Amino acid sequence: MELWYVQNYIENYQMALKVKETLFVGRTKFQEIAIIDTYLYGKVLLLDGIVQTTEKDEFMYHEMLVHPAMVTHPHPRKVFIVGGGDGGAAREVLKHPVEEVVLVDIDEGVIELCQKYFPQLGRWDDPRLRVYVGDAAEYIAETRETFDVIIMDSTDPIPRGVAEPLFSPEFYRRAYDRLSPDGILVSQMEPPFFEAERVKKLWKHLGVFPILRLYWGLVPTYPGGVWSYVIASKKYDPAQGGRDLPFPTRYYSSRIHRAAFVLPVFLEEMFQ
């Protein structure tokens, strides 16, 4: 008998993957965690039944989440990662000559399971990485640290979900205050074709920043295959930047950087 995983959290839309083996199913006090091995995408991390990352296409998401912001800032020394318990965002940041990376994820179970089942995702032994298990919203509210780049790599801002407070106007105002004078915040922004109203709401919440730029990239296992991101900047315009990196990448390049900020007409109209 065949076993299929079906994702259907978006109304009237489903995605299915044929499952080779169920590697783990469990629940923390925050969310349900499952790890499955699929024929097409290899191992897949599911949180509350929603795909977070897969072995085959994770590089598309993590490179496009991290590198546009990191190359836009001329000298990012200290970086804060909200969520990111799978380790992929930190891995990409640590390819840059940063001095310190602070990662705060609320669910220790995600970190431990990803270290076990997705060891290639993380660089957990890098001495520049500090990992805290806790609420990133509380951390930002209480810390007096200053960061050059803040990377939002949490789960989706689904109503009443564990990540919803991380996408509030209050959180963005506090993040703004914790950024250096030329600091940058980058966040994933949901599938623009399916969740247009939620994307526009998040965009409005970021209004404290003088420069806002939406960009996009491909992630086949995310709804619709096209994912949107936003860079909120105090000084630098990411659409004017982009450069090739001194280390190999599989998705990001200076040409991809510039092209990602060229929006389809329906997205331009959405944010007029």
Give just the sign of the alpha carbon dihedral 231, 232, 233, 239.
Answer: positive
* Catalytic residue, candidates 125, 153, 177, 182: 153
Any binding-site annotation on 153? yes
Q: Report the C-alpha gap between 209 and 166 in whole angstroms.
A: 16
For the chain, domains (ranges, CATH) are 3-54 (2.30.140.10), 58-270 (3.40.50.150)
Q: Report the C-alpha gap between 272 and 269 in whole angstroms.
A: 5
- The pTM of the full predicted model, rounded to 2 decimals, is 0.94
Any binding-site annotation on 154? yes
Q: Is 48 a catalytic residue?
A: no
- Per-residue pLDDT in tens (0 to 9) along the chain, 272 residues: 799 999 888 888 899 999 999 999 999 999 999 999 999 999 999 999 999 999 999 999 999 999 999 999 999 999 999 999 999 999 999 999 999 999 999 999 999 999 999 999 999 999 999 999 999 999 999 999 999 999 999 876 555 556 667 778 899 999 999 999 999 999 998 787 787 777 788 888 898 999 999 999 999 999 889 999 999 999 999 999 888 999 999 999 999 999 999 998 988 888 77
Q: Report the C-alpha gap between 108 and 208 in whole angstroms.
A: 32
Any binding-site annotation on 156? yes
